[in-house]
């Protein structure tokens, strides 16, 4: 198992996407604090991100996981089709654009670090991705989740349009 991934007994998978160090200059020198960006998922179409800040790394990660869990409770389930997504979609957040394209069996997750963590925690196994614009990990994670939220199944689209298949 990778060092940045942890599966808990309740089925939640935690992935640490990024840990950043922040320095505040004070009278005695520099005081460091840490920010943690974490993605939490159940590999069944449920995924959320969390952000935590503390003076040490472990408490920052714990705060981020807690934030992600509370965010996950308020979020709807993502529509998957087997091990991939139903259709092509573009997720946007800030200066980041993430293009998600469905792929055939055996392709794997072709994605960069932040996007890969979100997709694997969500349960997607075959997908192609491309990032345009900013590669800021926080914006990439948010854009990926935003794109996944835009996914619709065939039945859902037919119902929205009032058409029978």
Domain identity same for 154 and 104? yes
Yes or no: say if 44 and 54 are a contact pair by the CB < 8 Å rule.
no
* Domain count along the chain: 2
- CATH of residue 144's domain is 3.30.230.10
Rounded CA-CA distance 93/73 in Å is 21
Bridge partners for 149 per DSSP:
none
The tokens for 47 are 């995924």
Average pLDDT of every residue of the chain:
91
pLDDT at 9: 62
pLDDT tens per residue across span 17-37: 999 999 999 999 999 999 999
- Per the domain annotation, does 123 fall within a domain? yes
Q: How confident is the model at residue 1 (pLDDT cuts 50, 70, 90)?
A: very low
- Per the domain annotation, does 81 fall within a domain? no
Domain identity same for 111 and 141? yes
- Domain holding 106, by residue range, is 89-161
Secondary structure, 3-state, 101-138: EECCCCCCEECCHHHHHHHHHHCCCCEEEEEEECCCHH
């Amino acid at each position: 198992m990778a060092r940045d991934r942890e599966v808990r007994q309740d089925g939640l998978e935690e992935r640490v996407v990024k840990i950043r160090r922040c320095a505040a200059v004070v009278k005695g020198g520099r005081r460091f604090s840490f920010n943690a960006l974490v993605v939490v998922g159940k590999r069944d179409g449920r995924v959320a991100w969390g952000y935590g800040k503390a003076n040490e790394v472990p408490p920052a990660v714990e705060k981020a996981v807690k934030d992600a869990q509370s965010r996950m409770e308020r979020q709807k389930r993502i529509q998957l089709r087997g091990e991939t997504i139903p259709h092509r979609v573009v997720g946007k957040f800030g200066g980041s654009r993430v293009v998600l394209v469905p792929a055939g069996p055996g392709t794997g997750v072709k994605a960069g670090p932040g996007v890969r963590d979100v997709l694997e925690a969500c349960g997607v196994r075959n997908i192609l991705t491309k990032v345009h614009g900013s590669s800021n990990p926080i914006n990439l994670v948010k854009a990926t989740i935003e794109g996944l939220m835009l996914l619709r199944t065939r039945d859902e689209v037919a119902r929205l349009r009032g058409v029978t298949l």
